[in-house]
Structure 1
């Protein structure tokens, strides 16, 4: 069984990079949801006049649901299979994304968005699991690290659509409903492109379903996996909680996993809080309209997309450890400079610091999901991926409720300097905890 798994992950890259791109494309949907709600909240508030807590829940609801979805979906992925999960989550997302467009109150929007987050969090963790089991070592790490490129691309597409809707002068109620409901369109396209993908041969092998595993390997790789018998065997299902005990048995995998959790939390925190001083950035460069804010933000994320593409290309040359050290280091310096610019009113420096910070962020965030997923054994991989993704969503959820108060209490400069704690933690973890994991393969 172990020899068959090593054989699969060492030799094959099915149909080029198609499988990897189909799985990583889920990030487009998350980016759409995150940025669409950020820009249309003003129109929702204009129509329904909700209190700040209810409005905050509408924005953060998907993040809370994604925490539940990451843990539940990762566990189910290990238990019932990767294919069932990536098909069912897309169907759920399509239905719930459309439902957003027809809610009759902010309270209903909160409920729908929380439910929407469940398949979203589940699909991200499941997608990383599928990539790590469907591509050979070296290539799977690069593909996993491309998730930030897809995130930036999704943000650019979302902002472009919102800009078009603003230019057409549609009624504000129609703009927010169309924007939120349109998230179902990319999800439908992804579902149609994924529907014929089989279960991963690695998962089938680990479940003892050798006949199906041999059929999948023969179909996708023209390899009958002769090392496996032609009969299925009964394999006990491991407990989901056992993955932590399994990780601790191997110091290298355990250190990599700990780093992944720290990096997930650090990058999620620095990105979520970054948005709170963007209005100051926009005012410093003379932007005062919704359309102007949309276009300037889109320009920033074009830069982010370039960074998200370059980072994975550099990973084979400088390693996972190198890309993390460089990314967190760039963000740390950029935030310190931004805090100084805000403190001394040298606002002309702020756009440069913000752009540099975003460049570094799309490097330090690139591998925080890849590393804990790739080092986990196949029988625990979905659970491990979902657990790591929870550390991405948790700071996103908390920032919406906690950071505004901090921002108001200690001001722009103080809050920006406070945010620098997170890349500092990530940098120290990359230097002192993370072993080099590029090309990692289980014994």
Structure 2
């Protein structure tokens, strides 16, 4: 059966409502992506209002990540306590206010402050979107629906690039970068309106003994009234242990999942993706493209990012999470090698811009089918229900922390080592990522969340076999 037939059959077998929930929950990714992408173009014009050194450019860019770490550190626990839906509404409100605050900032200090505020919403969005999707999606299409979050991130980045282009010149007498940053209020409003009509996660409702509400939601999602078996399975897993906290992440049976989540969180960032997303216009500008041409070039990067994420959606429940990660990190390693080569070989000054752009596009393409979507999907799958939000929060904190360090140090690193060596260093990290994934990351395709949790417990009982055979959580 081909991919198109699989998707058509899935649509017939599952309620349309499950797709509606996933699409709206994935709008969290739109906020996430827009904020990542919009600063790349805005930096070219912020410097005309506030004189920025390379270090200050890094501060402006990475300040949102400080807020994201705060949002991720608190968001998981808040999601476990108050629910996925209410936290999404709160995050959208904070993002809306932060967008206006940045646009009206009178000084660089206020701009940094409001970027931190908006970053808290980005950190929350990175957690609650995948949580809500994974806890409502049927296991056979959970991968594809989970990738909708990453698809929305890429669409958010592309939208930001288009907005950057639209507001590149001065508009209505106000410097264009202010309009770029203000526009974030639009996707925040869309998310808030959509979330208002969403139900709460049925698994969260079961965890809080709101069984009738959970049954009502599941009946709509599964397009059947016979949901008692699923509720019983969730309750059985939920009742095995008491309510968990941070200390439970260090339990022997949870520790392998913690290592995988934190490892992938760091790998996703040190592989260098956000150096391309944040600084693509700056890099192209530095090698000879003017401001408008640099922004147009990054629109092409954004289009490729969206298209290849769609390809990943079609593949994830067919070929699995692990093969996509391995192919993607191998390709990213090669592309970064070529990208660095374009900067160090003599005699290429006339074409270095095109070599750089082509390598960047290839690199983003491999990222879009692997580390980009698979990381967020896996951390929503591999943790136990009672600590899932908290565990995702921990992984997200490491992700945003690594993102912060890379964003803050990349331009100074280029100034010290040069572009070629800097990109080769990132390529080395991608090679290490390939080794880690091959050795540690399991396959979760086609398994329910409760089966994955049961597998972790069984692995703790039978020993360390799961570390030696990574084909699946239980190594079926």
Q: TM-score range by the shorter chain?
A: 0.7 to 0.9
Moved more, 154-163 or 172-181: 172-181
TM-score, length basis structure 1: 0.87
Q: Does the 8 A contact of 2:102 with 2:182 survive in 1?
A: yes
Counterparts of 1:356-371 in structure 2 under 5 Å?
356-365=362-371, 366-371=373-378
- Distance of 1:90 and 1:394 partners within structure 2: 22
Inter-partner Cα distance in structure 2 for 1:212 and 1:368: 31
Deviations 1:382-410 (A, max 9, x none): 11222222232122211232222322222
Q: How many Å separate the matches in 1 of 2:206 and 2:16?
A: 17
Q: Which residue of 1 aligns with 2:267?
A: 266
Contact 1:137 1:440 in 2 (8 A): yes
Map of 1:203-352 to 2, 5 A cutoff? 203-218=204-219, 220=221, 221-223=223-225, 225-226=227-228, 238-246=243-251, 248-249=252-253, 254-269=255-270, 270-274=272-276, 279-281=282-284, 287=289, 289-345=290-346, 346=348, 347=352, 349-352=355-358
Query: For residues 175 and 276 of structure 1, what CA distance do their matches in structure 2 show?
Result: 18
Tell me how far apart the structure 1 counterparts of residues 436 and 190 of structure 2 sit (CA, whole Å): 39
Aligned equivalent of 1:25 = 27
Q: Give the Å deviation of 1:81.
A: 1.3
CA apart distance, 1:428: 0.8
Unmatched segments (≥5 aa) in structure 1:
1-10
Give the 3-state SS of the residue equivalent to 2:369 in structure 1.
helix
Question: 2-side partners of 1:277 and 1:158: how far apart?
Answer: 13
Shift of 1:47: 1.9
Give the match for residue 125 of structure 1.
127
Q: Partners of 1:104 and 1:325 in 2: how far apart?
A: 46
> Following TM superposition, by how much is the alpha carbon of 1:292 offset from its aligned partner in structure 2, in angstroms?
1.0
1:136 equivalent in structure 2 = 138
Q: What is the aligned partner in structure 2 of residue 6 from structure 1?
A: none
Counterpart of 1:403?
Answer: 410
User: Alignment partner of 1:438: what SS?
Assistant: coil
Whether the 8 Å contact between 1:255 and 1:435 is mirrored in structure 2 is: no
Separation of aligned partners in 2, 1:291 and 1:332: 29
1:49 aligns with 2:56: no
Count of residue pairs the alignment pairs up: 423
* Match status 1:75 vs 2:77: yes
String of CA shifts for 1:27-46, please: whole Å, max 9, x gaps.
22122222222222233332
- Superposed CA offset, 1:231-278 (max 9, x none): x9x9896232144135x316xxx5454333222222222112345576
Whether the aligned pair in 2 keeps the contact of 1:374 and 1:440 (CA below 8 Å) is no
Question: Which whole-Å deviations, capped at 9, do the CAs of 1:174-197 have from their partners, x for residues lacking one?
Answer: 312221111011110111111021
Shift of the alpha carbon at 1:72?
A: 0.4
Residue-by-residue CA offset, 1:272-298 (whole Å, 9 max, x unaligned): 2345576555666x52x2111111110
Equivalent runs, 1:91-170 vs 2, <5 Å: 91-166=93-168, 169-170=170-171
Bigger drift between 53-62 and 119-128 goes to: 53-62
Q: Could you say which residue in structure 2 is the equivalent of 1:375? A: 382
Corresponding residue for residue 185 of structure 1: 186
Q: Is 1:424–2:431 an aligned residue pair? A: yes
Q: Alpha carbon RMSD of aligned pairs, Å? A: 2.7
Find the residue that maps to 2:47 and give its secondary structure: helix
Runs of 4+ off more than 6 Å: 234-237
Cα distance in 2 for partners of 1:106, 1:283 equals: 23
Which residue does 1:197 correspond to in 2? 198
Aligned: 1:385 with 2:392 = yes
1:170: how far off? 2.2
- On the 8 A contact 1:273/1:399 being kept in 2, the answer is yes
Matched residue SS, 1:374: coil
Aligned counterparts of 1:339 and 1:35: Cα–Cα separation in 2: 23
Distance verdict in 2 for CA 1:315–1:105, change over 3 Å: same
Distance 1:273 1:178, change over 3 A: closer
Q: TM-score, normalised by structure 2?
A: 0.82
Following the alignment from structure 1 to structure 2, what is the Cα–Cα distance between the partners of residues 148 and 225?
29
CA distance in 1, matches of 2:228, 2:40: 53
SS at match of 1:166: coil
Give how far 1:63 is off: 1.0
| Pair 1:13–1:256, CA change in 2 (3 A) | farther
